[in-house]
Structure 1
Amino acid sequence: MNKSVIFEKLLIKQQLNPTQFLLCLSHLNHVVYLKNLNHPVIALFASEYMLIQNQKIQKFNRTSLNQYQQNAESIDFNHFFKKSLQNSHSDFNGGLIGFISYDEAAQQQVNIRSKNQPSLFLGIYYSYIKLTDQGWTFFSYEHDAEAIFQVIQEALQDKDKQNKNHQTFTLTQPCTARWSQHQYVTAFKQVQDYIRAGDCYQINLTQEFTAKAQGLLLDTTEAFWQLTDAPYSGYLKIDDFELLSCSPELFIDFEADRKITTKPIKGTMPRHKDAEQDEQSKQSLIHSKKDQAENVMIVDLLRNDLSVYAETGSVKTPKLFEIESFNQVHHMVSEVTATLREEVNPFHMLMSALPGGSITGAPKIRAMQIIEELEGAPRGAYCGSMGYFNFDGTGSWNILIRSIQKYQDNVSVWAGGGITIASDCDAEYQECFDKVEAMLKLLNTWYKPE
């Protein structure tokens, strides 16, 4: 690959939405999409990729278009980043894209179960498609860029044929909570018992909503992205596994000059159609001492996580308890920044910091042990991270909340919140539904009872 010479060519002027474009490419494997703060990118034809499933690590190299061969060597992240390269873009410009599940991240420190599906995918992409002012434009650093361009053009021309070839997404069972309210109350009380005993200060207790389905989850993506308008949304398909992100939460931005930023969310109130009621909900969150206490616990945890890799004295908290409003909820968001030490590898730092403190609790290791004991099922990709790295070490990774996973015929959605000693059980139970109710309602529109 010649990273200094780029092939650039307009694919289509027509303003296809990302779902329409992804459906045209659905016959290709490990195509990935990131909204990336309104810089949409679709990456395809990974030159190599790493996949972990059931704790088995596999590495593949591309031998020809859409053909891969297993390789015993893993991706060498010690030499992945090229400091001589400077990225003039604020978004993906060729590099690594993928996801790391909560299960895979947590297993670095605690012994937990893993969901029976891919738990990590990391692909190196030299070919990608961006939505530019001219339309969807193809970029590639590969020698066979023209051939790849032709494959994509043919897929776009055959879009009607591609759409007919896949089975339409349908729920064969509605998506419902795996826990009853009584089971949630029992788990909530156990969390508070652990807090009183001094095991922890906060636990992010979550519950799973499950369904059975057939067809491609991809069919639903545009509807979910319109519903949530989430800044860190994305989509990935690996064989019979699909991951749909509607996440509002940034985990870490890796910026120029080794600056890093994390924006933990802790504190949620529902949105309302009535403007006065909506403002009351927002003001309740602004003045909530309980949510501020919860938020600052996670800020302290993340400050500690970042300080391990940061230049001395560089860890700052420029924003505390800011309110960000999304389509369904208001969130309390803080911001922590730091400067990575010169010798720190950005990927190693990301892996070490995962899973994010906002979706575990504090202290983190004991919180993850309690989560494993109480939640009753592995989280899978939920509360993991999805994102990218450029070759110069810049990049952006989210927290996979408001995400939907589909593996074979199993669909999974999760929601939860931080439990402290000041938490009210009924309010916390309701918060789960405030966060996920609109998504569940939309998902269940695909249920077609016989």
Structure 2
Amino acid sequence: MRALRWCPYHVLLKPRMNPDAVFLLSGFMAYSTFFDAGEAAERISHLAARQKPFLFVADFECSEFIIVEEPLCQTDVLFDIPSASNVNKDLFQTACNKGFTFQPEPFDRYKRRFDIVEKGLHRGDSFLTNLTVKTPVQTDLSLKDIFMITEARYSLYVPNRFVCFSPECFVTISADGRISTHPMKGTIDADIPNAKDVILADKKESAEHATVVDLLRNDLSMFAEKVRVERYRYATELHTSRAHLLQISSEIVGQLPADWRQNLGRIITDMLPAGSVSGAPKPSTVRLIKEAEEEPRGFYSGVFGYFDGFSLDSGVIIRYIEQDDNGCKFYRSGGGITAMSNARNEYDEVIEKIYLPIRKPTFSEVICINNGKPQHLPYHLKRMERTVRDIYNKPLSELHLEIPDEARKGRFKCRVEYADAVRKVEFSPYTQKERKSVALVFDDNICYKYKSTDRRQLARLVQQAKTDDVIIVRNGMITDASYCNLVFEDFDGNLFTPSDALLYGICRQRLIDDGVVKERPIRVDELRHYKTVYFINAMMDICDAQRMAVAQIVGC
């Protein structure tokens, strides 16, 4: 069954809404919810075959699917994955010390469910079963707050329902049909001496990991050829608010047929539920999970993903907090149970997984080094100080620039990466990029107030325009190019820079202070009043900047 839900901003996808209702209200946004896996698969394949971008969310039981078409054009259901995001987390400021506490269930209660799973293992119903717990949490943070302050490879926020900040990939599919998955099985405190060697030598963890890899290799083989394990049991680090962890993963790859987009819905739904959060063999293990856990998981341990028109990137919905109708929040966590499992150790592991991986936004500052001398350094320090003060509420640590010998002749780019302190400083020879084509693009949601290292929103606009660069229009106003401020020259020779700039750049501010240019709101329909546009940044003063006739801008 499919329901077309028209939901007001910030009141989306409310549970238990009449699935047959259709609300046609001005100013509302439409989302499709499916309660049948076959219908959801059909819709996914329909969109993918037509190269239409969409976000999909599937619950563990395959009983509810959410599909958001053109998800980058809305900011209610938020997502942040390696390939795309519809939100800039760097602009969000909240007190991370609002408190986050939880009361885990007693061991005896966990042990009763563990015993049910253990009996199923001994009967031969399963070789590996993922057993999960639901833990009440107390926090003044909203679900959206949690989404914004956490760092994860796959993050998703559905208003009034849940937030996830998952480290685990489900599958990725490249434009040429290469499919891959990276199951994660095995977690250990990285501060334990020789932690990597300890977990790799653990027989229980090894057996569990091997079972999941074999299961997912078989899952990929349903649709792909040349399926193989490219990397086996490699370690990655994870820093959380409570601990420094090591997680063990493998990489499995295969090749899909050329028409994979026409079958994308079936590829996704036939692989559900994800093997790493269910177990093997799947059908009997899922029945065992239902018996032991006694309630549906819902979207916890389901999957979500983004299709950009060409390729797919998706994650497993773990590291998950849900909210009920009374506003109470619950953290879901779990772990794999095998015949070698110890109940106390498994209990400790699921409790260890209750955490918030607090993010630390990073920023960059690009300083021009001309014949060994930093240019306009006070302007750069002022911007860095403002950023650290606004985001971290602390003063900027001292910046030391040790200029290498090779950077003492000619023009070099010094790139400083920093968070609440300077992380690294790099020097490289500077070569000015030439723009042969520039297009107007429109994005009313874009924001780049601080010089973040996360430039995905800007890169997406350039990719979509298929030009060398873009001029971004927000709410009808000219802002910036993708990595330059703009200066427009009118037919009388006067120079103006848009007052609606996304980022207040160093060169731009200095030219304003020196009286060389003036700020002015410039509407997109006013571009005809200007003859030339200059692309400026810290490396390109206006006398060095590339210029272009306004009439050459695509869409002008």
Query: Which TM-score bucket, shorter chain as reference?
Result: 0.5 to 0.7
**Alignment equivalent of 2:330, drawn from 380, 399, 412:** 412
Offset, 1:82: 3.7
Matches within 5 A, 1:171-250: 175-177=102-104, 179-211=105-137, 216-223=142-149, 225=150, 229-237=151-159, 240-241=160-161, 243-250=162-169
Instruction: Give the whole-Å Cα distance in 2 for the aligned partners of 1:122 and 1:68.
Output: 10
Structure 1 residues 55 and 290, CA gap change in structure 2 (3 angstroms): farther
Assess if the C-alpha contact under 8 Å between 2:31 and 2:69 holds in 1.
Answer: no
SS of the equivalent of 2:46 reads: coil
Instruction: Give the whole-Å Cα distance in 2 for the aligned partners of 1:69 and 1:383.
Output: 22
Structure 1 residues 124 and 317, CA gap change in structure 2 (3 angstroms): same
Offset, 1:306: 1.1
Assess if the C-alpha contact under 8 Å between 2:176 and 2:258 holds in 1.
Answer: no
2:9 is matched with which residue?
28
**Alignment equivalent of 1:369, drawn from 284, 287, 299:** 287
Offset, 1:417: 0.7
- Structure 1 residue 400 corresponds to structure 2 residue 327: no
SS of the equivalent of 2:47 reads: coil
* CA-atom RMSD in angstroms: 3.8
- C-alpha offsets along residues 302-360 of structure 1, whole Å, 9 cap, x if unaligned? 1111111113xx11110111111111421110111111223441122111111110100
Offset, 1:414: 1.1
Assess if the C-alpha contact under 8 Å between 2:33 and 2:66 holds in 1.
Answer: no
Identify unmatched segments of 5+ residues in structure 2: 1-6, 76-83, 359-556
Instruction: Give the whole-Å Cα distance in 2 for the aligned partners of 1:378 and 1:138.
Output: 29
Question: Structure 2-normalised TM-score?
Answer: 0.52
**Alignment equivalent of 2:208, drawn from 289, 294, 297:** 294
SS of the equivalent of 2:257 reads: coil
Offset, 1:292: 1.4
Offset, 1:369: 0.6
Instruction: Give the whole-Å Cα distance in 2 for the aligned partners of 1:333 and 1:61.
Output: 45
One-letter code of the match for 1:347? G
- Structure 1 residue 316 corresponds to structure 2 residue 232: no
Assess if the C-alpha contact under 8 Å between 2:102 and 2:136 holds in 1.
Answer: yes
Assess if the C-alpha contact under 8 Å between 1:63 and 1:69 holds in 2.
Answer: no
Instruction: Give the whole-Å Cα distance in 1 for the aligned partners of 2:351 and 2:308.
Output: 37
Structure 1 residues 211 and 27, CA gap change in structure 2 (3 angstroms): farther
1:251 is matched with which residue?
170
1:269 is matched with which residue?
188
Bigger Rg over Cα: 2
Assess if the C-alpha contact under 8 Å between 1:270 and 1:434 holds in 2.
Answer: no
Structure 1 residues 221 and 97, CA gap change in structure 2 (3 angstroms): same
Assess if the C-alpha contact under 8 Å between 2:170 and 2:274 holds in 1.
Answer: yes
SS of the equivalent of 1:416 reads: strand
Q: Which structure exhibits the higher relative contact order, with contacts defined as CA atoms closer than 8 Å and separated by 6 or more residues?
A: 1
Question: Structure 1-normalised TM-score?
Answer: 0.63
Assess if the C-alpha contact under 8 Å between 2:127 and 2:279 holds in 1.
Answer: yes
1:10 is matched with which residue?
none
Instruction: Give the whole-Å Cα distance in 2 for the aligned partners of 1:61 and 1:306.
Output: 40
2:238 is matched with which residue?
326
1:22 is matched with which residue?
none
Matches within 5 A, 1:35-434: 57=19, 64-68=26-30, 76-82=43-49, 95-103=53-61, 105=62, 107=63, 119-125=64-70, 127-128=72-73, 175-177=102-104, 179-211=105-137, 216-223=142-149, 225=150, 229-237=151-159, 240-241=160-161, 243-272=162-191, 277=192, 279-311=193-225, 314-327=226-239, 328-344=244-260, 345-392=263-310, 394-408=311-325, 409-434=327-352
Instruction: Give the whole-Å Cα distance in 2 for the aligned partners of 1:309 and 1:230.
Output: 29
Instruction: Give the whole-Å Cα distance in 2 for the aligned partners of 1:138 and 1:284.
Output: 36
One-letter code of the match for 2:153? P
1:8 is matched with which residue?
none
Instruction: Give the whole-Å Cα distance in 1 for the aligned partners of 2:303 and 2:31.
Output: 27
Identify unmatched segments of 5+ residues in structure 1: 1-25, 32-50, 86-93, 108-118, 131-136, 140-151, 153-158, 164-168, 441-450
Assess if the C-alpha contact under 8 Å between 2:146 and 2:163 holds in 1.
Answer: no
Structure 1 residues 199 and 82, CA gap change in structure 2 (3 angstroms): closer
SS of the equivalent of 1:335 reads: strand
Q: Report percent identity of matched pairs.
A: 25
